[in-house]
């Protein structure tokens, strides 16, 4: 198996969580031992040898790929979580969703000015989530080495929203 085979292992769920959305279900990839290894190895390949202190994973599916990637790259792992979940003092960012807003948090001492980080999530759609996380990271003075996704929904032009951030994805639809 190679990374070109991953596309057919991800399952499409039409009209989830609401009508008109085709949800990319990665659980079919996660349960397949070869697909999981190929996916993590493909992500790691891009960043190996680069100077990275920590991988930042976005709750919840970003934790799955982010932690495996951190292990593989020999870096630390930092969680960005939904509001109210982190136990220590946090920095927050609120961003717009289609209807309403959402808030993400990071521990206020998770990063320092000389931290170099890689931000990871399972999927890039409109780019709203990751640009909010990038704001949180830059707000603490840290630098972003890259933004990595397993899946990119290219037709939603999320990359444009991310401006100059170096975006990398393994599979594009």
Active site residues: 61, 98
With CB under 6 A as the contact rule, which of the stretches 28-36, 75-83, 104-112, 117-125 interacts with ligand AMP? 117-125
Nearer to ligand AMP, 66 or 145 (CB): 66
Residue 147 · residue 136 · CB < 8 Å: no
Tell which one of 15, 21, 28, 34 touches ligand AMP (CB under 6 A): 21
For 43, half-sphere exposure in the C-beta direction (CA atoms, 13 angstrom radius) is 31
Consecutive H or E run containing 104:
strand 101-107
Residue count of the chain: 173
Distances (CA, A) of 75 to 11, 40, 53, 57, 66: 31, 14, 5, 12, 10
Q: Is 121 in the site for ligand AMP (CB under 6 A)?
A: yes
In the set 36, 55, 117, 123, which binds ligand AMP (CB under 6 A)?
123
How far apart (Å, rounded) are the C-alpha atoms in residues 148 and 32?
Answer: 21
Half-sphere exposure for 46 (CA within 13 Å, toward CB): 21
Stretch touching ligand AMP by CB under 6 A, among 27-35, 69-77, 99-107, 123-131: 123-131
> Which of residues 42 and 80 has its CB atom nearest to ligand AMP in the complex?
80
Residue placing its CB nearer to ligand AMP in the complex, 21 or 48: 21
Rounded CA-CA distance 105/136 in Å is: 8
Tokens of 87: 């136990």
81 lines the binding site for ligand AMP (CB under 6 A):
no
Which residue in the set 67, 126, 140, 143 belongs to the binding site for ligand AMP (CB under 6 A)?
A: 126
Interacting residue with ligand AMP among 124, 136, 150, 167 (CB under 6 A) = 124
Q: Which of 44, 77, 128, 168 binds ligand AMP (CB under 6 A)?
A: 128
> What is the binding site for ligand AMP (CB under 6 A)?
21-24, 58, 61, 121-129, 158
């Amino acid at each position: 198996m190679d990374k070109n085979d991953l596309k057919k292992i991800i399952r499409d769920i039409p009209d989830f969580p609401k009508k008109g959305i085709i949800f990319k279900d990665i659980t079919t990839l996660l349960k397949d031992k070869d697909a999981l290894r190929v996916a993590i190895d493909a992500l790691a390949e891009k960043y190996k040898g680069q100077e990275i202190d920590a991988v930042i994973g976005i709750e919840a599916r970003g934790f799955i790929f982010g932690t495996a990637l951190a292990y593989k790259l020999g870096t630390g792992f930092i969680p960005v979580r939904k509001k109210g979940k982190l136990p220590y003092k946090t920095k927050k960012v609120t961003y717009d969703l289609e209807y309403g807003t959402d808030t993400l948090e990071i521990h206020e001492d998770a990063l320092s000015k000389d931290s170099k980080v890689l931000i990871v999530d399972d999927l890039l759609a409109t780019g709203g989530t990751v640009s909010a996380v990038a704001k949180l990271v830059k707000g603490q003075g840290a630098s972003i080495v890259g933004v990595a996704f397993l899946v990119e929904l290219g037709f939603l032009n999320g990359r444009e929203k991310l401006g100059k951030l170096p975006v990398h994805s393994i599979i594009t639809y």
